[in-house]
Amino acid sequence: MRDMPQDRRPTRIQKKNRAAILEAALDVFSTHGFRGSTVDQIAGAAGLSKPNLLYYFPSKEAIFTALLSGLLDTWLDPLRSLNPDGDPMEEILSYVKRKLQMSRDFPRESRLFANEIVQGAPRMFDALSTDLKALVDEKTKVLEGWMDTGQIKRTHPHHLLFSIWSLTQHYADFDVQVRVLMGEEDPFDAAPEFLETLYRRLLKP
């Protein structure tokens, strides 16, 4: 968004338009990816003219970057909540549940993130190599500490996290495939129990 004078705050209309642009962009980007999306598509979905949209965001890349910035912070919150002083099994299972719930509540955001990673993370690489890596380094040490004390079974901590991401985000990233194969059954009905059983058996000392 263009810089506003220091003594001026965004008006209600400006906040509303900016939110409408980001919401429309989330739909467009999560459906078509960054390369397949256009400013015209986003403006049309937001109900704004292209010049009006460009007042708030100077380019398609600026919109995408704004979305990813907020998304990454939201995506990291469940991992940040992994409490080193809590019961290890319950902390991990709670993390799995939160990640699964995010796939249910935020499927477009998950697909947006996945599309960016598949493209080589050109707009997120710095954040992945700093914010995400620092958090994962911190939490893998927590997992290793629980393993060292025999509270959970020893396994590779990075691959444990990767498996949780894969098994939970799959329901959002491959939503169409999952729902076609399961028919009328809601995939989220049985998924929590299945994943809890899987990780209890994997991690039980």
- Mean pLDDT for all residues in the chain: 92
| Token reading at 162 | 């990767």
8 Å CB contact between 152 and 201: no
8 Å CB contact between 68 and 125: no
Residue 119 reports pLDDT greater than 90? no
Amino acid at 143: L
Amino acid at 125: F
Q: Which residues contact 130 (CB under 8 A, 6 or more apart)?
A: none
How far is the C-alpha of 185 from the C-alpha of 198, rounded, in Å?
A: 20
Q: Which residues contact 24 (CB under 8 A, 6 or more apart)?
A: 42, 43, 45, 46, 47
Residue 6 reports pLDDT greater than 50? no
Radius of gyration of the chain (CA): 20
Q: Which tens digits make up the pLDDT trace of 133-166?
A: 999 999 999 999 999 999 999 999 999 999 999 9
Q: Which residues contact 121 (CB under 8 A, 6 or more apart)?
A: 128
Amino acid at 91: E
Helix (H, G, I), strand (E, B) or coil at 37: coil
More confident residue, 70 or 13: 13
Count Cβ atoms below 10 Å from residue 97 Cβ, excluding itself: 16
8 Å CB contact between 152 and 84: no
Q: Which tens digits make up the pLDDT trace of 178-190?
A: 999 999 999 999 9
In the block, tokens 């495939």 appear at 177
How far is the C-alpha of 33 from the C-alpha of 121, rounded, in Å?
A: 12
Split at pLDDT 50, 70, 90, the class of 3 is very low
Q: Which tens digits make up the pLDDT trace of 28-45?
A: 998 888 889 999 999 999
Domains of the chain plus CATH, in order, are: 12-58 (1.10.10.60), 67-203 (1.10.357.10)
Distances (CA, A) of 167 to 100, 181, 182, 193: 8, 16, 16, 13
Q: Which tens digits make up the pLDDT trace of 50-60?
A: 999 999 999 99
Q: Which tens digits make up the pLDDT trace of 15-31?
A: 999 999 999 999 999 88
Mean pLDDT across 98-102:
96
Split at pLDDT 50, 70, 90, the class of 8 is low
Q: Which residues contact 33 (CB under 8 A, 6 or more apart)?
A: 115, 119
How far is the C-alpha of 93 from the C-alpha of 102, rounded, in Å?
A: 14
